[in-house]
Amino acid sequence: MADDETLVQYTDENEDGTIERVFIRRTTDDSYPSGWRYSLHYGTTEGKTIVRYDNAHEDTKGHERHVDEKTEIIDFPGVMELYQRFLREIEEFHS
C-alpha cells in the first residue's frame, strides 16, 4: 500500500547461531485495526522460533506471542512498548 510507512526493519544474524528479524510498519489496511503491521522474531538460523510477536491475523486472532511451539493471544500495549518488551526478552536469553 502506498500509505504504509516502515518504522523499523532489520535482520541481524549473530555468531551464536541466532537471528533477529524485525519489521514494524504503520498501515491503514483494515486487516490491522491497531494501525500497525509487525513481526518481531528471534530464533535460530535453522528456523526454530525462540520468541516471536506478530499480528499477521490481527483482524481474526489478535496479537500473538509465540514461544517455541506455543502461541498465546496477548494484549497490545502499543508498538513501541511491545518492541521494548521483545528486546528485553532477547537480552534475558543472553544472560
Q: Average per-residue pLDDT in the chain?
A: 92
- Check whether 47 has a pLDDT greater than 60: yes
Output the pLDDT for position 62: 96
Instruction: Identify the band that residue 33 occupies on the pLDDT scale cut at 50, 70 and 90.
Output: very high
Q: Which residues, 6 or more positions from 22, have their beta carbon under 8 angstroms from its beta carbon? A: 8, 9, 10, 11, 39, 40, 41, 83, 86
The cell numbers describing 83, all together, are: 518492541
Q: Please, where are the H alpha helices in the chain?
A: 79-93
Output the pLDDT for position 55: 98
